[in-house]
Chain A
Amino acid sequence: MGWQLNKNQPIYLQLVAELQSRIVSGVYRPGGKIDAVRDLAAEAAVNPNTMQRALAELEQSGLLRAERTAGRFVTEDAELIASVRRNLAQEKINAFMWDMSTLGYRREEITALMRETVEGEAPDGAPPKEIMEGERTHG
């Protein structure tokens, strides 16, 4: 799984974002054990101290739980995961709204366009092909 890091944001924040998205999307299952710092750092090709910092941040927020000898686990608190997921979705929507406003779209136009896009689905309810592919590359 690729870790796409950009060059301007602090690295640990990008690691936090990627780990959060893996947790809320279920790639890392609730209650599941995650890899050791060293392995995660190697996978992401980042400094182990930076990965450690990102994991500590997620422990602080409660998404991860460290057990002395056993390692780190994803929380089993479904409500917490759901609320983080909701917040992340809201951030994406805000960013999207901002992007659309830079194109000169007003709120009503955006919602109308969104409705059109969603209702343009195939009659059997399958989303348009491009969206499916977009989602697959996201994970």
Chain B
Amino acid sequence: MAELLRCENVWKGYGGKQVLMDFNLQVDGGRIVGLLGPNGCGKTTFMKLVNGLLVPNQGQILIDGYAPGPESKARVSYLPDANYLPDWMKVEDLVVMVADFFPDFDAAKAIAMLSDLKISGLERLKTLSKGTKEKVQLILAMSRQARLYMLDEPIGGVDPAARDYILNTIIGNYNENAAVIISTHLIMDIEQVLDEAVFLNNGQVMLHKSVDAIREEDGKSVDDLFREVFRC
């Protein structure tokens, strides 16, 4: 399977504080990868670096062979951890706007998903609840035919039923040429959807293994392993 993401010896610090230290990660097409780690371990920094919102101090990042830039952004669908959309806009206008930005955006798919989750296109983003805003952003991200989906905490604020719908969308959207990277603390909810789990600690990858290999070799779920490794 083709390699879609390669991070080599990436370093990133803010001021005196090092966040990523010699970070290495490789993700192949057809994989759904969980990016897991305690608060402040560097998950969001990694996501921002891949999406060109931050520049590494050292090291190389390649997305489908391209350094972060217009070519990579055309291939990566990124769901940031914070609201990035103008909140005075109506949901239906947001769909049109995102469609303008990305040729791989499937507006019909977005509209179908909005209707599945009973979100009206006529509402302004700012009038929606926190969870519904998150659903809108996720729908916009999942409606692209991207090579790499990077979802930063996609299910944190949504109710369990919508969580199931979102996970089903990720499964239904599966494509052997595309990869999905999901960062989350809700390991138990996404565990069975993942191929691989990546544990991040102090800015480095401390474990990168398939979910079933963890269950086979450690005899426990990824969630249990996480609680054991990161016990406070």
Contacts and interface: CB of A to CB of B under 8 A. Distances in A.
A102 interface: no
Interface stretch (B84-92, B123-131, B186-194): B186-194
A46 interface: yes
Interface string A42-53: 100111111001
A9 interface: yes
The 6 closest A-B pairs by CB, nearest first: A7-B221, A10-B212, A10-B215, A48-B174, A46-B192, A10-B216
Interface of B: 30-32, 164, 167-168, 171-172, 174, 188, 191-195, 211-212, 215-216, 219-221, 223-224
Contact of A7 (B30, B32, B224): B224
A88 interface: no
A33 interface: no
Contacts of A85: none
Contacts of B220: 8
Given A7-B223, A50-B195, A45 B171 contact: yes
Nearest to B220: A8
A7 B227 CA distance: 14
A31 B194 CA distance: 32
Interface string A1-23: 00001011111100000000000
A8 B27 CA distance: 25
A66 interface: no
A38 interface: yes
19 contacts: A7-B221, A8-B219, A10-B212, A10-B215, A11-B212, A38-B172, A38-B174, A41-B174, A42-B171, A45-B167, A45-B168, A45-B171, A45-B193, A46-B192, A46-B193, A47-B192, A48-B171, A49-B32, A50-B192
A49 B193 contact: no
Contacts of A53: 212
A44 to B, nearest CB: 8
A47 B32 contact: yes
B188 A50 contact: no
Nearest to B194: A47
A38 B193 CA distance: 12
A112 B164 CA distance: 47
Nearest to B191: A7
Contacts of A41: 171, 174
A84 B30 CA distance: 33
Contact of B188 (A7, A9, A42, A48): A7
Contacts of B224: 7-8
A5 B212 CA distance: 13
Given A46-B193, A47-B192, A48-B174, 17 more contacts: A5-B192, A8-B215, A8-B219, A11-B192, A11-B211, A12-B212, A41-B174, A42-B172, A45-B164, A47-B32, A47-B171, A47-B194, A47-B195, A49-B31, A49-B32, A49-B195, A50-B195
B216 A47 contact: no
Contacts of B219: 8
A42 B168 contact: yes
A121 B215 CA distance: 42
Interface string A82-94: 0000000000000
A129 to B, nearest CB: 34
Nearest to A46: B192
A41 B195 CA distance: 13
Contacts of B194: 47
